[in-house]
Amino acid sequence: MDAPSLLKLLEQIKEGRISPDEAVARLRHMPFEDLGFAKIDHHRRLRAGMPEVIFSQGKTPAQVAQIFKHMAANGGNVLATKASRTHFQAVKKAVHKAQYRELAQAVTLQQDGATYGKGKVVVVSAGTSDIPVAEEALVTAEVMGNPVAHLYDVGVAGIHRLLANTKVLEDARVVIVCAGMEGALPSVVGGLVHVPVVAVPTSVGYGASFQGLAALLGMLNSCASNVSVVNIDNGFGAGYVASMINRL
Amino acid sequence: MDAPSLLKLLEQIKEGRISPDEAVARLRHMPFEDLGFAKIDHHRRLRAGMPEVIFSQGKTPAQVAQIFKHMAANGGNVLATKASRTHFQAVKKAVHKAQYRELAQAVTLQQDGATYGKGKVVVVSAGTSDIPVAEEALVTAEVMGNPVAHLYDVGVAGIHRLLANTKVLEDARVVIVCAGMEGALPSVVGGLVHVPVVAVPTSVGYGASFQGLAALLGMLNSCASNVSVVNIDNGFGAGYVASMINRL
Amino acid sequence: MDAPSLLKLLEQIKEGRISPDEAVARLRHMPFEDLGFAKIDHHRRLRAGMPEVIFSQGKTPAQVAQIFKHMAANGGNVLATKASRTHFQAVKKAVHKAQYRELAQAVTLQQDGATYGKGKVVVVSAGTSDIPVAEEALVTAEVMGNPVAHLYDVGVAGIHRLLANTKVLEDARVVIVCAGMEGALPSVVGGLVHVPVVAVPTSVGYGASFQGLAALLGMLNSCASNVSVVNIDNGFGAGYVASMINRL
Amino acid sequence: MDAPSLLKLLEQIKEGRISPDEAVARLRHMPFEDLGFAKIDHHRRLRAGMPEVIFSQGKTPAQVAQIFKHMAANGGNVLATKASRTHFQAVKKAVHKAQYRELAQAVTLQQDGATYGKGKVVVVSAGTSDIPVAEEALVTAEVMGNPVAHLYDVGVAGIHRLLANTKVLEDARVVIVCAGMEGALPSVVGGLVHVPVVAVPTSVGYGASFQGLAALLGMLNSCASNVSVVNIDNGFGAGYVASMINRL
Amino acid sequence: MDAPSLLKLLEQIKEGRISPDEAVARLRHMPFEDLGFAKIDHHRRLRAGMPEVIFSQGKTPAQVAQIFKHMAANGGNVLATKASRTHFQAVKKAVHKAQYRELAQAVTLQQDGATYGKGKVVVVSAGTSDIPVAEEALVTAEVMGNPVAHLYDVGVAGIHRLLANTKVLEDARVVIVCAGMEGALPSVVGGLVHVPVVAVPTSVGYGASFQGLAALLGMLNSCASNVSVVNIDNGFGAGYVASMINRL
Amino acid sequence: MDAPSLLKLLEQIKEGRISPDEAVARLRHMPFEDLGFAKIDHHRRLRAGMPEVIFSQGKTPAQVAQIFKHMAANGGNVLATKASRTHFQAVKKAVHKAQYRELAQAVTLQQDGATYGKGKVVVVSAGTSDIPVAEEALVTAEVMGNPVAHLYDVGVAGIHRLLANTKVLEDARVVIVCAGMEGALPSVVGGLVHVPVVAVPTSVGYGASFQGLAALLGMLNSCASNVSVVNIDNGFGAGYVASMINRL
Amino acid sequence: MDAPSLLKLLEQIKEGRISPDEAVARLRHMPFEDLGFAKIDHHRRLRAGMPEVIFSQGKTPAQVAQIFKHMAANGGNVLATKASRTHFQAVKKAVHKAQYRELAQAVTLQQDGATYGKGKVVVVSAGTSDIPVAEEALVTAEVMGNPVAHLYDVGVAGIHRLLANTKVLEDARVVIVCAGMEGALPSVVGGLVHVPVVAVPTSVGYGASFQGLAALLGMLNSCASNVSVVNIDNGFGAGYVASMINRL
Amino acid sequence: MDAPSLLKLLEQIKEGRISPDEAVARLRHMPFEDLGFAKIDHHRRLRAGMPEVIFSQGKTPAQVAQIFKHMAANGGNVLATKASRTHFQAVKKAVHKAQYRELAQAVTLQQDGATYGKGKVVVVSAGTSDIPVAEEALVTAEVMGNPVAHLYDVGVAGIHRLLANTKVLEDARVVIVCAGMEGALPSVVGGLVHVPVVAVPTSVGYGASFQGLAALLGMLNSCASNVSVVNIDNGFGAGYVASMINRL
């Protein structure tokens, strides 16, 4: 149920072909089209102008494919995160144009090519191991219609690498910073830019990193005031928040 | 060292009254004007167009007053957070125009009355006890030049109160949501609006709230994708992030 | 040793066929019929009028089957929770009428078809991934003789879905609410109904959900006063408590 | 705005003295009568038939008194929990019939003397130090119209004390069990009764009790299936849940 | 290097066949007989009259077998805990008289059949799943020369089972109590006996049991004063401490 | 109800002055002599031959004094732990022979001077700050009739101090070891003695000691197998357990 | 008992004025000169050439003064950390040359003015609030005979401040870095210098800083490999470790 | 880009074969030679005179091999930690001289045989299971040009083993101590030596060791002041810090 369909429905009322009461009934009915295990809310895209999203982890390939197909039928972009190649293969059979972004572990379907973001979303990451999360953020921002750029492997222990690349940061309207271990990068980046920074702790590290807890706490206590934080490894959330900001 | 002073300095170069080398020396020197216990970075305001801020907790009234006075001399707005009435009294003696915002526990000095925000920042809070944190966010946004509105005491267990006031939410360009206990309000608000939501867990609660940990974890795990989070009781941080977003 | 057997025993005393002393000895002996690794307490069902239950996790299929068989011989309903299909296959060989409830990961034997609950137990869940726990609660309530209904995939970030289905909630005498991530749903549901709500945190989520800890803390801090909580993923416990309440 | 007032309003419509539109406006307006810092929801009592409740901790005596007075004007019972004697004194001046329950740290106003509970609510506690929480539960149940009884100082290390008093337990329709330290009492009581048990961990203990965490975890892991849990020291919550159950 | 060897050595000194200096050198050398990866301390048994023990987890079958063989050569009892059947098979090849105690996951070699304990060590456990840990405690006590008895599956939610078996407890000189979940059993048992109770939390449970943390905290906060605690799942430690006590 | 009273009661039965049935009734009644806020179980002393104990923290001086007086009337020793000087003064007025042990923060009444322990209980502590807990253990052991000795300020970072005093350790039948910070002392002492070691973590330390958690975890993970552990700062528990062992 | 006294003692042996046996007796006796509540180990200074140190927190002024006086009598430097002005006043009366370092909350006695460090110890701190801990480290290094320098208020969110002062860092042989909140500074400093960095987390911060836990975890997970960490707020420990390194 | 290459470049400037500008461009370019997934910083070795290091865990064999090859081309030593045999095999194909240190799980390439350390680095470990971490520390110190020695299996419960080997400790200029379980060894060793001690907690243990947390907390709270700590299982970090110290 996307905008054109809604328009069509409302025009049918105007033309007297269906009664307002019937229209209400249809509208009420449509968003909750019941698949047996999940109510897909097409209204969500209508409301937000955002793509529909599936969190694949813990779902079978068949489930992901079925939901993906239903979503695709609504005409917008679709994104399945934390998707394995096996998930992708099931989706691919159902929706041929679906693509797999290996690094980001994401399946995408780009049916709407419009640019919604008013500036550039720049994704920064601290180490090589943080790249999967950073890529998930990047792909999310792309699917949501933002120009993107990235700056990877610029951890704080080699501060000159970051400083040698501040040019990329200056172009950003929103910055996403992904880091594991001590999670210090958002504080440093936050001090260098004058735009909002969305920080993503990653579960990269061992021992006292406690699966990303150290990085999470570090970011929540950032001494840079323009930093806000999303869940550990939540590249999607960061990409989504950044896209929301970039549309303003 | 604010914008006019910088302009003056640069004009002196143009007019040949001081050499560029000397200007560099002055610029390098000025931001680090040493007070003995803290280097005040006047460049920060210059860079960010933001007011200067003091975190008063753990500082003596005399220290807060001394820093406040130095900051005030630069001509911009000044904000002292987590300030007791005793802190305020010390500041008041040094800077007569300083004002105390009781609920927010903040001392403010509004020397720059310009509006920088492009839309409205709306602050929402769950319970009466969350108001101090919510007010800190509100005052911060005000001092940073944003039109603001608020919606208090709309906890999720009485969802009709929130739903009866969605009009206020629709006017927001950025929403700040403060909640203690289970911290569920940002998820519900996030689902109702199509703009970025900055969530602030508060330490309101007892027992298994663990001084705001429950609310913090709840917000980090929000099922609404447009939510990002700042530290427990960090009303200032939320106001700052929201202001950054609202200037874009 | 169920109610009829006890009656028979007591009648034998009345008829003078066995002495009271001998009866006491038998009664003392019977509930502790020793299987070598577990004392099955048939008295429990007698006392509580409840089915007998096996927690299958960490037990071998052979162990589960042996206990199940002994329990089945007592004539009441039997429920094996957290049972894999392999567990079921072992039980099936021993007790042919046993059935597998795939979604709930439960093996059931329905020998007593009576309705014990005075009203309806409604199970509500936030996301698709919470369904296994929700189904365990549902199956438990069914096996314990309650009319049931469910309302799935009504997370708080899309509050209109829940509000569009309040009809189902109005029919409930007890509500069970299962949610992972921020665990906010019980608070919202608790505010909408005037009956007891049993909340079940699930381990659904990642990162700072800490295997259900975030949801657990959220529910314990619920601002809705009619909410009490059971262990993470403890669908059985919720179904059991709800059944106890519904029999009153 | 209680039931009689609502009836009166509706009769005015019937009699044509006010229009339905105006009635809607009044109804919408009344529950949100704005006190400046808290929206008192009179509808809540209407909906739930429950007394109005104030959590006094962190509120000034003046605030508690003001809210209490407004609530009292609606004609139902009022309960202020975690109230110090100072809170009480402020309330007493505003509402003369208010009473202080010292052990429970509660201020009560009993304007509605009806009995709503169908059976008896029995409150059990482990040690002398748990009594304040137990009393809060007891007073809550009383204010909500339940016959109550209690059984204190029956910790599990002296199991014979509990067993010597099972008569009291047999009379219960709902049991509330309060315990600190290892929090084992609900499991034992749960095994002795065939009715729902609401467990309240208390912060009684030291060292590894971690302010009630040990008791909380113990109760959540209870091997008795008829146990559900509320927050640490939340005697009010337990009394409320028990009352909800006892009205069914 | 066991007692007879030491005696022989000392007699050689007396008989003038070796000098005291040489004896000192031998004694210093012998306990540190270097296997390349672990210094086996034969003195430990000499000092304590205790068997030698290997913690098998994290060691290869070959390593366990090699250490076991060296230990066996000293003539006392040997115990390998947390040993898989694969570990046992490797040991069996090196030391033919070694036996496998399946339930306890222990390999034993009983070369010293003496009884060292002055009374009986009784092992109590709460649930079927706690048996592996309980058996490790039992086997340890046996290998260390104690008469033993056990009482399994007597969880606190069915308190009558425990009370029906107090006879076994009365015979105990030391009691070991193993329990997972809420870990309440040691408190109840501690109240029933007048001898020391060694409590072993087990990792049995799920969700908020946090791998035995709930049981551990519960036992540390026991309201029975005769209870002390060992590490989670440390059946060996409990058996060892109990044996030490039973030798006094 | 102490031993002489029991004897008297039983003699009355023998003399036919009361029936056995009546005696049973009296016995059942007497131990629960109700003081209004706590049931004092005189049977406990009868059963265990142990003194009666009051945990003073969180109780008013008046409450402690009232309970103390009732306990004293039974003729045995009485111990009030965690008692301030103010608590003592209230007790002193009620029971003149009560004494205050300042370092141990304990009030004692020694009415039974018998020696129950078969050997010596030795209390060892790591630092000067651990002495209050160590003294509580010592006083408890004394009140329970044990010969005692102590060895203070022998932390592991100066291992020679401990080694220079092993003579005291050799005399022990049971050793109690109190330590804060890293809690390493029980492991070292455990390796030096061949008797049971009861370890008491203390809350001494700061930062990452987390009020005794570091010491607690250290002791639970002790590599010395003869160590068992009681709660943080629980000197009383350690003294009690040690006394139980020393009576065997 | 310092080096000169030892020399004198040994010379007395050489000169035949006391026997070696007597000397041994004296040496054994002297280090354990018993003050009743603490064994002062004069050997420690002899062994390490380090000053004697008192941790004042939790000790009474009288206790600190008594220990301080005994230590002072040995002729070396003495340091009392976490000392209040009240502690100082008590010490001052006993040892007139003692001085109070207000910012560091330390009492010092400088009897040995020798320089032991081979290079400079530089102390860096992130914020104004970290200065007390930084000063404790600085004073410790001074008392232990090191040339020192400091660089305060150079938090990572204003990275240019730190970069503008790298000259000071280049002079360091060892660097101590103190930081609260996210604790990111040691990683950045560690990347800028080629010498060992000792990191001290401070308890500065609020909410999710959890009294320094966030900073501690951040530092333990530092991506700079030349960083090691001491306890939260342990400025003394950092100064001590740095001094040990600087003497090599 | 190692020292000789830099020299060559600078000589080309001197000889006028390339301009300083071009040299700057090359220098700026070279360290960031982009491999697509990681910027290798050759400057780091130049700056620190340290080998280049790869953290292999979470990287594919192919990735490790590719990075290793690039690093090897710079002429210095290369170290890959946490490397499986499979990682090694991939590296071996790319760099034939690479070697596998099985116990340390490290791949090494020793192209620079110089000795940089001024004294000996001694690695001490508590138990057999700590050896992998200890060996990683040892190999790191070796690759960084230090003479090394080790002392394994000297846990504190058998303190005589450690005391019998103090000779090895006396030779050390820096000591690394690895221990799991209670992590007490660094405190004891710290008290025996007068040089810096770098402590490494290991994840060895079970139950309440919480994957090394107990050992970590123990070490952070060490009562020996010459101890600093690195992350759990971070043998590399300890070897690196020790090497930095040993070069001073």
Q: Which residue has the higher pLDDT, C192 or B58?
A: C192
Query: Which amino acid type is present at position D16?
Result: G
DSSP bridge partners of D177 = D124, D199
Output the six-digit token pair for E208: 């908020």
**With an 8 Å Cβ cutoff, are D188 and E188 in contact?**
yes
* Residue whose tokens read 């011989």: C73
Which of H195, H221, H228 best tests the G interface by mutation, with the highest count of G CBs <10 A? H228
Residue C129's Cα: distance from chain center in Å? 19
- Position E37 scores a pLDDT of 47
Within 10 angstroms of residue C59's Cβ, the number of other Cβ atoms is 21
Out of A187, A207, A213, name the one closest to residue G156 (CB).
A187
What's chain F's Rg over C-alpha atoms?
20
Judged against a pLDDT cut of 50, whether residue H3 lies above it is answered with: no
Q: Which chains touch B (3 or more CB pairs under 8 A)?
A: A, C, D, G
Residue A124 is encoded by which pair of tokens?
């920064």
| Token pair recorded at residue H243 | 């090497």
How far is E235 from chain H, CA to nearest CA, in Å? 11
Provide mean pLDDT across the span E210-234: 94
C and A touch per CB criterion (3+ pairs under 8 A) = yes
Q: Which of G38, G27, G29, G113 is nearest to G70 (CA)?
A: G38
To test the contact with chain E by mutation, choose from F228, F230, F231, F236 the residue with the greatest count of E C-beta atoms within 10 A, namely F228
pLDDT at F220 over 70: yes
Residue with tokens 């748990």: D130
Give the residue, G65 or C3, on which the prediction is more confident.
Answer: G65
Distance from C-alpha of C221 to C-alpha of B207, rounded to nearest angstrom: 8
Q: Which of B121, B81, B110 minimizes the C-alpha distance to B245?
A: B121
Cα–Cα dist C245/D173, whole Å? 9
Listed in order, strand segments (DSSP E) in A57-171 are 78-81, 99-101, 106-109, 120-125, 148-151
Q: Vertex D210, ends F41 and D102: CA angle to 5°?
A: 60
Closest to D77 measured CA to CA, from D113, D106, D104, D103 = D113
The DSSP string of E68-82 is HHHHHTTSS-EEEES
CA distance between the termini of chain C: 25
| A127 to chain H: closest CA residue | H38
Whether residue C18 has pLDDT greater than 90: no
- Do the Cβ atoms of F58 and D131 come within 8 Å? no
pLDDT value, residue E167: 84
Across E109-121, average pLDDT: 92
Residue with token string 């409320």: D240
| pLDDT single digits (tens) H60-86 | 999 999 999 999 998 889 999 999 999
DSSP-derived secondary structure for D37-79: S-B--HHHHHHH---EEEE-TTS-HHHHHHHHHHHHTTSS-EE
Judge whether residue H35 has pLDDT over 50. no
Does residue C229 surpass a pLDDT of 60? yes
Q: What's residue H138's pLDDT?
A: 97
Q: Which residue of H has its CA nearest to F215?
A: H218
Contact D230 C220 (CB under 8 A): yes
Q: Sign (positive/negative) of CA torsion F38, F44, F49, F55?
A: negative
Rounded average pLDDT over H161-179: 90
Which of F38, F231, F234 is facing D128, going by the closest CB pair? F38
SS3 (DSSP) at A149: strand
Distances, alpha carbon G53 to alpha carbons A130, F208, G59, G104, G247, in Å: 45, 21, 13, 14, 18
CA–CA min distance D197, chain B (Å): 20
Cβ within 8 Å, pair F216-D204? no
Asked if A199 and A187 count as a contact pair (C-beta separation under 8 A), the reply is no
CB E32 within 8 A of CB H164: yes
Q: How confident is the model at residue F176 (pLDDT cuts 50, 70, 90)?
A: very high
Of B182-196, C175-189, H36-50, where does mean pLDDT reach its minimum?
H36-50
pLDDT at C12 over 80: no
Residue B75's pLDDT is 85
Integer Rg of chain A from CA: 20
Confidence of residue D229 (pLDDT cuts 50, 70, 90): very high
Pick the residue of H192, H223, H228 with the most F CBs within 10 A to test the interface with F by mutation. H223
Burial code (b: 16+ CB inside 10 Å, e: under 16) for C202-224 equals bbbbbbbbbbbbbbbbbbbbbbb
Contact B153 D37 (CB under 8 A): yes
Among A93, E148, D133, E248, which residue's Cα sits nearest to residue F119? Answer: E248
Which range, of B32-36, C10-14, C182-186, G10-14, averages the lowest pLDDT? B32-36
> Rounded CA gap, A238 and A229, in Å?
8
Spell out the residues 6+ positions from residue C101 whose beta carbon is closer than 8 angstroms to its own: C107, C108, C135, C139
> Are B220 and A231 a contacting pair at CB < 8 A?
yes
SS3 call for A134 = helix
What is the pLDDT at residue H125?
Answer: 95
Comparing CA positions, the residue from B102, B172, B98 lying closest to residue B131 is B102
* Residue of H49, H195, H228 with shortest CB distance to G228: H228
Residues of H whose CB is below 8 A from A159? none
CB atoms within 10 A of CB F222: 32
Under an 8 A CB cutoff, do A192 and G159 touch? yes
ipTM of the complex: 0.81
- F195 or H164: which leads in pLDDT: F195
**Are H110 and H82 contacting, i.e. CB atoms less than 8 angstroms apart?**
no
Nearest to E173 among F226, F238, F248 (CB): F248
Please give the pLDDT value at position A51. Answer: 83
Closest-CA distance of chain G to residue A191, Å: 4
Confidence of residue F111 (pLDDT cuts 50, 70, 90): very high
Determine whether the interchain pair F208/H215 forms a contact, defined as Cβ–Cβ distance below 8 Å: no
Q: Which of B237-241, D20-24, E39-43 has the lowest mean pLDDT?
A: E39-43
What is the rounded distance in angstroms from the CA atom of residue D58 to the CA atom of residue F241? 42
Instruction: With a cut of 50, say whether residue H171 has pLDDT above it.
Output: yes
User: Could you give the 3-state DSSP secondary structure of residue C219?
Assistant: helix
Q: Are D182 and E222 in contact (CB under 8 A)?
A: yes
Which residues does E contribute to its contact with H (CB < 8 Å)?
28, 32, 37-39, 41, 43-44, 55, 57-59, 63, 201, 203, 211-213, 216, 231-234
Integer Cα distance of F164 and F188 in angstroms: 14
- d(CA F238, CA F137) in angstroms, rounded, equals 6
Give the single-character DSSP code of F32: G
Nearest CA among H164, H208, H149 for reference residue H182: H208
Which residue in this structure is represented by tokens 């010092």? Answer: G108
- Our answer on whether B and E touch (3+ beta-carbon pairs < 8 Å) is no
Backbone angles phi, psi at A227, to 5 degrees: -110, 130
Cβ within 8 Å, pair B38-G204: no
Backbone phi, psi, residue D13, to 5°: -65, -50
* pLDDT at residue C173 in the model: 97
Q: What is the pLDDT of residue A21?
A: 56
CB-based contacts of D94, cutoff 8 Å, min separation 6? D65, D66, D68, D69
Q: How far apart are CA H221 and CA H234, in angstroms?
A: 18
CA distance C146 to C143: 7
**Whether H238 contacts H198, CB under 8 Å:** yes
Q: Which residues of G touch H221 (CB under 8 A)?
A: 231
Residue B31 has pLDDT above 90, yes or no: no
Q: How many whole angstroms separate alpha carbon B61 and alpha carbon B54? A: 12
Per the CB < 8 A criterion, the answer to whether A136 and G136 are in contact is no
Residue B57: which pLDDT band, with cuts at 50, 70 and 90?
A: confident
Provide the pLDDT for residue H8: 60
Q: How confident is the model at residue B101, as a pLDDT? A: 96
Asked if residues G231 and F206 have their Cβ atoms less than 8 Å apart, the reply is: yes
Supply the pLDDT for residue H36.
44
Q: What is the pLDDT of residue G75?
A: 85
Whether the pLDDT of residue H18 is over 80: the answer is no
Q: How many residues does chain C have?
A: 248
How many whole angstroms separate alpha carbon C131 and alpha carbon C153?
Answer: 8
* Rounded Cα distance, F247 and C192, in Å: 61
> What is the rounded CA–CA span in Å between residue B191 and residue B181?
20
Report chain G residues whose CB lies below 8 A from the CB of A221. 180-183, 205, 207-209, 214-215
Q: In what order do the strands lie in the sheet with F227-229?
A: E148-151, E120-125, E172-179, E197-201, E227-229, F227-229, F197-201, F172-179, F120-125, F148-151
Q: Tokens 């408890």 — which residue?
A: F140
Q: What is the pLDDT of residue F12?
A: 63
- Could you list the mean pLDDT of each consecutive 10-residue stretch along chain A, which spans 248 residues? 47 62 49 43 49 87 94 91 96 97 95 91 92 96 95 88 86 96 93 94 92 94 94 96 95
Residues 6 or more apart whose CB falls under 8 angstroms from that of C91 comprise C61, C64, C65, C68, C69, C80, C83, C98, C107
Q: Are B146 and B242 in contact (CB under 8 A)?
A: yes
Bridge partners, D122 (sequence order): D149, D175
Q: Look at residue A31 in the predicted model and tell me its pLDDT.
A: 38
Going by pLDDT thresholds of 50, 70 and 90, the confidence category of residue E3 is very low
Residue pair E73/E100 in contact (Cβ under 8 Å)? The answer is: no
Q: Provide the pLDDT for residue C9.
A: 56
In this complex, whether G and C touch, counting 3 or more CB pairs under 8 angstroms, is no
For the residues G112-137, what does the mean pLDDT come to?
A: 93
Q: Are G57 and F204 within 8 A, CB to CB?
A: no
Q: Is the alpha carbon torsion for H13, H17, H23, H26 positive or negative?
A: negative
Structure tokens at G12: 């007395």
